[in-house]
Structures are given as C-alpha cells and as structure tokens.
Chain A
Amino acid sequence: MWRKNQVRYGMVIDVDKCTGCGACAVACMSENNVGVLPDETDKIRSITWLRVYQIDNGKPFPDTEVAFFPRPCMHCQGGTSGAPGQAFFQEDTDPQEAHTPCVSVCPAIATDYDDATGIVSQIPTRCIGCRYCVAACPYHARYFNWYDVPWPQGTPRGLSPFVSPRMRGVVEKCTFCYARLQRAKNKAFVGGGKVGEMDYQTACTEACPSGAITFGQLQNPAHKVHKLIQSEFAFRLLEKLGTNPKVYYMSKRKWVRMMADNHLSQAKATQAAASGGHK
C-alpha cells in the first residue's frame, strides 16, 4: 500500500565524507546516557547505539583503502523494499502489524513502530529481556544490558534528564534521539509554529565534524534527505532482505557499495560507479 504523505524520519550517511573519528558515536552516548563498562573491548557486549564499522577493500599495499560505516538503528519499515521513491513506501497497512523485524517478534510490546514518525521505539521499562528482538535484527543495532552500569562516583551529575538511564537485563537501541523531537514538539506547542527540519536533528548529525550525516523527513520534498535518497549513489544495508531501512548510505566508491549489501545487484553498483565514482 502506498502511503506517500506520511512523515517518515530517516537518515543519509555519506560514507565518502565519514572519517571514522567517532564524534557521532560519542555524541550519541552522551545524549542518551549510555554507560561505560570496565571492559569495553568485549565488543559483543559493549553498548554502542551508533557503532562505526571499519571496512577495507582487501587490496594489497599500496592500494589498500579503508572506509567507515556508521550504523545506527535502521528503523526498518518492513513491507516490500526496493528503490527509493517506489517500494520504499510500500509498508504494511497496519502499523501494529508493521513487520519491522524486531517489532513483530517482541512478546511484550516493549518496542513499537510509530506510524506518525516511522520511528521504532524501545521501552526498557517494559522489556522483559527475552532478547528475541536482538536475534531478529540483522544489523546488530539492538543491545542487551548484560551488566548494571557502574557509574563512577560523581558522573551521574553529567547525565541528561531527557533520556532515562537503563537498568540491567533489558534491551536498548538508537531511537533517532526521540527525546529531541519531544522537546521540539513542546516548544512548538507553547511558542506556536511547527517542528521544522532544523528543530529536530539527532545528536550524531549535529556532532559530525564533516557533515557526513543528514537527517530529516524522507518524504518531505523540502528536506535535504528527500533529495539525497534519490541519488544513484544512495543505497541501504542489506536491501534485499526486505527490512526496508530508513537509514541510507552514499558513496562514489563501488567496492563500498558492494560491501554494503552482499545482495546488491552488480548492475546497480556498476551504473552508479560509471557516473563518476572516483575509485
């Protein structure tokens, strides 16, 4: 079913601009009160809502080359996936039914799909910690709190009151900094006016020193992201699985696009490469 006029928040990440500095990840953590464990080298238990993956083209010296994939929650939409502008909008008719991989499996409705924003929520206080959603997410965007966070003495003073700190035994994930939309709405309610593109930007988008991240309403022609996702250099992670993510990536480098989706058709990658990929 086509639902073009829905507000759908999404993100475009320019891989060619990303220098892997991690400012986005850190900004995200400080915005969302993410804790730090004694041993964070245990990556499979380390909570990083926005994880910056490093990939390389596997070529020998001196043709080796690395690139970075910042990976927030994709806020998958389910439905039928495909090229932006078409199948992207074919989502499940019933938002309750939204076949976001994680939402449909949660037994306790601790995560839902907001039909008004397209954002996938996660409510730690409702979560019972069964981790079915973690198993369902192909992007490893969902993190389970294996430990109670050991806040060093004094550091809770630096926590933000707009995001509730999580307890042990629950799942958490990137929320597109939803608290910022809540505050933006409040401001609109009191001051009048609407929530504009710049009134609601995620912490990572703001922080990125090279402006690699763009955030906005995917279906709103006035928003930057709307134009960006039309580019032939735009692609998504694991498109063919049909998760229908709302996070897009851009790169002129063919090997990056291939790496992003082991299903991505040669054709698409090549055609994009043909038009001025710089490597």
Chain B
Amino acid sequence: MRRWFDDLPKYADDSSWWPKGTTRCRPEVFLFWLGLPLTIMAYFGVSAFLVLFKGLNQTNMNDYFAFGVWIVVDLAVIALGAGAFFTSFLNYIIGKTELKPIVNAAVLIGFICYTGAILMLGIDIGQPIRGWFGFWHANVHSMLTEVMFCITTYAIVLCIELLPSVLDNRRIGKVPEFGTFSHNLHTIMIVFAAAGTFLSFFHQGSLGGMFGVLYARPFAFRGHLGIWPMTFFLFVMSAIAAGPSFTTLIVMITEKITAKRLTSHKVKMLMGKISGWLLLVYMVCKSVDTLYWAFIYLPSKGLSVGQMYQMPYGSWLVWAELGLFGWLPVVMLLTPRVRESYGLLFLAMLLNCIGVTLNRFIFTIQSLALPVMPFEKFISYLPTWQEWGVASLVLGHGLLIFMLAYRYLPIFPQEPELNQR
C-alpha cells in the first residue's frame, strides 16, 4: 500500500531542468530559501495595497519632500542596472567577447532593476490608473517624460534580451519552436543591444536632467550643454561606471553563497578595470562640476556652499561622495594588485556602488530638504514602514527572479567547466 507522499520526491525532482553540466541544491532546500524573497514580497504586497487604496498619505512624503525614498531607490537601481546595457554594448557592439560569460547575468540584473523601478514608480504617482497620460499626453519638454518613455521601452528590450536565456533552458530548449526562436534571437541580438544602449543613454541622462533643470532649486540646478544640464552627462557617466561593478558584485555574492565559481576572475578583473576607468572620467567631471557650482554658480545667486549643507545633510556628504566613495574606488580599481585580489576588488566595487547610490540620494532628498524661500524652515523626512515596504520590492522580486534564474537558466556559461571536479 503506497502512501500519497511516497511519489513526492519523484515529482519534486527538477534536475532535468537544471542547466547542462551543473548541480543545484535539493528541491526542499531551494523551497526553504524561496521563503525569504516571498516574505519580502508579502511585506511589499501589504504596503503597496495600503498605499494604493488609502493613498499616498500612507507615506511620510509631503509638499516639501515631494519625492522620497522611492525615487532614491528608483534612481539608484536604475543606475546600478546600467551594467546590462553597457556590458551588452561592449559585448555585442564593441565586440569585447571576453565579457560573454557575464553578459547574461548583467542583462538579468538589469531586467530585475528596471522592472522593480517601474513597478515602484507606478505606486509612487498619486493616480496610477491615469499613469498612461504621461505617454498619451506627453510633454516633450519634461525630462520626466523622456525617463518614462525610455525606461518602459528599455524594459521591453531587456525582456527580449533575456528571452534567449529563458528559451535555452534545457527542457524549454527541447521544444523546436522555442529552440529555433532562441537561435534566431541570438543571431540578431546586436540590434537589441544597440537599441538598449541608445535608450539607456537617454534615460540615465534624463534622470540626472530631472534635477539639473530645476533652476528654481539652486542646490540641484546645473549649467546646460545644449538642451541638457551637466547632471545629464554626469548621471550617464556615474551609471555606466557603477553598473559593471554592481553586476560583478552580484556575481561575486552569488559565488560566495553557492560556493561555486561562476565566472573566471579574469572577467571580473576586466569588469573592474572598465568600471575604474569610467569612474575616473566621471570623478574628474564631477569634481570640476562641483567646484564650478560651489564657487561660481552659487555666489552668482547670492548663495554660499555653507547654506547648501545643513545638518543632518552636512558637508560630510561631500567628502563621503567624492572622497571615500568616489576617488578611493577609482584608485583601487585602477590598481592591478587590487583587482587581482578577490576581496579588495569586491570592496572597491562596493564603494563604487555606494558612491552612486549616495549621489542619487543627495540629488533627490537634499535638493528638496533645503528651503529656498528665505523665511522657510528646514524640515526633515523619515520614510514610513509602508514606504520601506514598497522600496523593498526590488530586493524581494530581485532575489526571487535571480534564484529561479540561477537554478534553471544557463546564466553562467563558464560554470560547468569552472566547477569540474
């Protein structure tokens, strides 16, 4: 007499779905760990429900802090997700095929970041159901319009770029239709890479432009080059500098967790080197820009740098952003010895990513925190648990997607040979 659960192991056995030549943890272990992202998603779900049904009064945003932690996280993840477009740009268009082993991961991370960001933006606006007005009745002069259009389109492109990885799953790939489709996609991928690069360049820039054009907010405003303020280019540069680092960072973390080698260290070093050089360029521009802003622009508006940095947003932020999380990672990433060391490389990339996140935080929160009217009071802002809940979406659905992808999709082509024993 068989009991109903005797067959369970048989059903639960998903080894036939694993990427070729790889081993994965036992299903029950995997299921157990799935609990983590699912819990986060549940937290997000509750928060999102409250915000959508009761309105944005569930947050601590107000008429002074029109933007809050959501926008900060959006900007940050979009910047960090830039690894996707830039790596595929280098890989498919420049032809740096050394990056092939990591490009899938980059695309996957990009996909996670962008879908997360878009979802959050949908919750962030007061009238989500009308959100599409932004597309249908677009105001072409608004940087935000550019952001909306490019982000959404690029998200679609990312889905397409990610498609082959999905179709190349061992079981799915067996289906002739899918297999063939995937094959054809591979051959044409360069087009999507190009489109993605184009779109990303603009929305990464426009995100910066959003703040650079606020000429009534002296903290954020920057001089223009053509129709774009300096922040436009600064944001692009910081994004492509941080993106590769973040991708590599995630790969490294995955390696630590799974105790497997997923890409060769050469690839990581290359990514680090790329990050380093880009970051150098960025930091030079950023420093010049900051100096110009501080000593030429602000005085011209009868203001001084001192006024711009009030506690808690004191001048320590400058040193942190430009020093600890700016020039330090530049130096580290450009030092071969550092790149060769797994740990130091990790640290350098971490600093790099923190730096860009901090930059987005400063531009979002601090530009709003500073009262412009002479008789306004300084007001501080702390997010509510609902806000954190929604903000944690990226983490939750990121983990979920990445775990599933790692288990079933051939994200890391090098994994089989690197882990032969």
Contacts and interface: CB of A to CB of B under 8 A. Distances in A.
Given A107-B138, A243-B216, A128 B66 contact: no
Interface in B177-225: 210, 213-218
Contacts of A243: 215-216
B373 A105 contact: no
Nearest to A167: B127
A108 B149 CA distance: 12
Given A145-B126, A170-B127, A104 B142 contact: yes
A146 interface: yes
Contact of A129 (B127, B141, B373): B127
Interface string B112-128: 00000000000011110
B375 A136 contact: no
Interface stretch (B11-19, B34-42, B54-62, B329-337): B54-62
Interface in B121-144: 124-127, 130-131, 133-134, 137-139, 141-144
Contact of A109 (B137, B148, B379): B137
Contacts of A237: 373
A128 B134 contact: yes
B3 interface: no
B135 to A, nearest CB: 9
Contact of A99 (B66, B143, B215): B215
A180 interface: no
Interface residues of B, number: 45
B217 A136 contact: yes
A10 interface: no
B126 A140 contact: no
Contacts of A242: 215-216
A138 B125 contact: no
A126 interface: yes
B224 to A, nearest CB: 11
A168 B134 contact: no
B63 A143 contact: yes
Contacts of A55: 375
A256 to B, nearest CB: 10
A143 B126 CA distance: 12
Contact of A147 (B55, B214, B216): B55
A17 interface: no
B57 A146 contact: yes
A187 to B, nearest CB: 32
Given A101-B215, A137-B216, A169 B55 contact: yes
Given A105-B214, A238-B372, 7 more contacts: A44-B63, A107-B142, A109-B139, A128-B131, A129-B56, A136-B214, A138-B216
**What 7 A-B pairs have minimum CB-CB distances, sorted nearest first?**
A129-B126, A169-B126, A263-B302, A44-B62, A138-B216, A131-B66, A134-B66
